[in-house]
Structure 1
Amino acid sequence: MAVSSRLPSQPAARGLLRRTPPRILPVERAPRRLALGVRAVSGGPGPGGSPVPRRSPAPADAAAVAPTSAPSSAASAIDFLTLCHRLKTTKRKGWINHSIKGPESIADHMYRMALMALIAGDLPAVDRERCIKIAIVHDIAEAIVGDITPSDGIPKAEKSRREQAALDEMCEVLGGGPIADEIKELWEEYENNSSIEANLVKDFDKVEMILQALEYEKEHGKVLDEFFLSTAGKFQTEIGKSWAAEVNARRKEGCGKQK
């Protein structure tokens, strides 16, 4: 087929030279930053119908947002801690009565009990943090009354009365307030054996004692049957029974090796 060599007509040529105007895209504007002290809460409509940010109202009184309870003063805190120093230096009388050289202190005993509560893991319906707190304070009154043991011949009710009075005195030294109240509550909970946490810490108290007895038997070549007999059958929780059984099993194993 022949191809025409003629150029297109003038109007058609002009049409070919037309260009489509470029498309202008809308420019996105960055969101306007709010001034300090302005919340992104809309008030009435502003220009163009957009909401106008409204400033947060300043509190009428700064004291209204201040903590409701102030911590103990530095002087009261140091006085209390100085009193607690006696827990580090007072030796447990049960070991003294058995002529153990360099026996553990009251604080030593409470510290390992707190570790027991820490490593016991998560137990159903048990507040582990509360167990740790109870372990730390359960013998705290002994900073004043000392370590009263059954060999002292003091009735249990009288022992409890003395320790309660000592605890009240220590909390007064601390300056009272919510922390002192919590210490009293934790101590009374343990004393009355009134919670699952108290049950568990009571067991830790016995486990720690027989474990220490086993260690002293090995270190000093002594037989400390009294401590094992006094705790036998008195554990309240499964973990207490399990740990006590492990200590007793190791003791029997050690006795077998010595023979």
Structure 2
Amino acid sequence: MSTNDWNPEDHVPSEVKDLLQNAEVGPYTYISAFIQVVELLKTQKRTGWLNMGIDNAESISDHMYRMSIISMSLNTANFKDNSNLSTAQKEPIDLSQCIKISLVHDIAEALVGDITPKDTTVTKQQKYERELAAIKYLGSLIDPYNSAFAKEMVNLWLDYEEQRNFESRIVKDIDKYEFLVQAVQYEKRYKGSKRLDEFFEGTRQQIKTDEVGRLADEILHQRVEFWRFINKNVN
């Protein structure tokens, strides 16, 4: 199937399609359909962890939820010394926007799935086009019930994808940080029998904001201490 042939509606659960074909479909039916499609985020496991044989791997929604909690917990005062901020970006950080972006940045994956950079069957451009089609479709489901939210959700997704504001830059960094936290937790779960080195390679360097970088440095320090303990007790 080529990118042009990919249609988000082809990936909607049959029971939701049946719901939308009801003769009495109305605004509440549409929002119900959207909520049921979003459930797919709870049932789909993150591909990278599955490829590594992680048992009971996190779902897409698990990842998004913890990102939103991280966003909510940030101390905005700690961003004032960020050397990467321009004068225009030194306005107060809107954490509510960070939380919202965190909650929707991967929402298109409900229909597209979690496509990793290592997937050679889908190009980066194809991935973007599929996710854009999916987010627009999801917006169309919400629109009859709440058109303002439909537009906001699409715009929040575009903020993240196109990095249109500093809040989206922070969330991009949180995405990498949460990824590091999860990788360390999985290594600890396996008590040293599984190393996930490939997930750490270059990830810290992709984090641009100083504050999220400090958070990442702490979890990386904990990883060093964990492996030092493991190696000491094995040897």
- Which TM bucket (shorter chain)? 0.7 to 0.9
Q: How far 1:155 moved relative to its partner?
A: 1.9
How far apart are 1:114 and its partner, in Å? 0.1
Aligned twin of 1:216: 186
3-state secondary structure, aligned to 1:162: helix
The answer to whether the aligner puts 1:194 opposite 2:164 as a matched pair is yes
Which residue of 2 is the match for residue 158 of structure 1? 126
Per-residue CA deviations over 1:197-245 (Å, capped at 9, x if unaligned) read: 0110001000001100000001123100111114131111111110110
Alignment of 1:10-25 (within 5 A): none
TM-score, normalization: structure 1? 0.70
Query: What whole-Å deviation, never above 9, does each CA across 1:20-48 have from its counterpart, x for those lacking one?
Result: xxxxxxxxxxxxxxxxxxxxxxxxxxxxx
Letter in 1 for 2:61: A
- Looking at structure 2, the residues matched to 174 and 126 of structure 1 have their Cα atoms a distance apart, in angstroms, of 28
As a proportion of its length, which structure holds more strand? 1
Deviations 1:59-106 (A, max 9, x none): xxxxxxxxxxxxx93222211000000000000000000000110000
Matched residue type, 1:219: R
- Report the counterpart of residue 181 of structure 1 in structure 2: 151
Structure 2 unaligned runs (5+)? Answer: 1-25, 81-91
2:70 aligned residue: 116
SS state at 1:152 partner: coil
Letter in 1 for 2:180: I
Match of 1:172 in 2: 140
RMSD: 1.3
Provide the identity percentage.
Answer: 39
Matched residues in 2 for 1:226 and 1:134: separation? Answer: 27
Counterpart of 2:56 in 1: which secondary structure?
coil
1:1-259 equivalences under 5 Å are 73-123=27-77, 125-153=92-120, 154-175=122-143, 177-220=147-190, 221-259=193-231
More helix by share: 2
Q: Distance in 2 between matches of 1:140 and 1:84?
A: 7
Report the count of equivalent residues. Answer: 188
Unpaired segments ≥5 residues, structure 1: 1-71
Partner AA of 2:98 in structure 1: C
Distance in 2 (alpha carbons) for counterparts of 1:147 and 1:138: 12
- Aligned residue for 1:66? none
C-alpha distance in structure 1 between counterparts of 2:123 and 2:34, whole Å: 28
